[in-house]
Structures are given as structure tokens and as C-alpha cells.
A = this chain, B = another copy of it.
Amino acid sequence: MAGRRVGCRPIVEDKWSLVIVEFLGHGPRRFTELRRGIDGVSQRMLTVTLRNLERDGILSRTVHNVMPPNISYALTPMGESLLDSFRPMMRWAAENVEQVEKARDEYDAR
């Protein structure tokens, strides 16, 4: 499998990667929990992004040999450090909602 992604930019610039890492910040989750919990992600996009993030060393994938068998995903230490690195940006998004909405209203009223 040729290296599809070069450098780290694809991780931090990929919407679903950040959303999944943020979601796994709450602890390990199964595929079905991720699919239900993340708004708007398709089955295929979730599958591809999880595989990319596992390949990048951002998350680990564990097969649980129970009946029925299931797979869970969890952040690795590097994944945790990625999550920490973009918490300020998520805080910015939460803190600036009103100012951004105000700017949009003013722009639309021009």
C-alpha cells in the first residue's frame, strides 16, 4: 500500500480526522458508536478515516473476541497530544460564535 498521505498536514486539515479524534477524546468507542455519534459522516468516510488515522499512529484498533466479536478504537498517546493541540481552536470556535454570527448578519445586510 503506497504511502497515500505525506507529512502531517493531511491529518490537521482533514475535517473528519479532527472530529473523530475529538470524539475519541471521551474514551474508546466502537464503530457503531462513532457512526451514531458523529453527525453527517458516511459509513465509507468513517471507515477510510479510521484506517488512515490508525495508519498515522493516531488511534489504535482492538478486536474483542467476544460473542458477537467487536472492534473498538482508542486514541494513542500521539492521538491524545493531537487532541490537546487543537483544543484551543475548538475553544476559539465556541467563544466566537456570536461575533461570527454578527459579522455574517452585517455582511448580509450590506
Contact = CB atoms under 8 A, between A and B. Distances in A.
Interface string A86-101: 1011111110110111
Prevailing SS type, chain A contact patch: helix
A61 B108 CA distance: 15
Interface string A7-22: 1110111110011000
Per assembly, the copies of the chain total 2
A1 interface: yes
Contacts of A3: 101, 104-105, 108
A30 to B, nearest CB: 21
Interface of A: 1, 3, 5, 7-9, 11-15, 18-19, 54-58, 78, 81-82, 84-86, 88-94, 96-97, 99-108
B5 A104 contact: yes
Contacts of A102: 57
Nearest to A3: B104
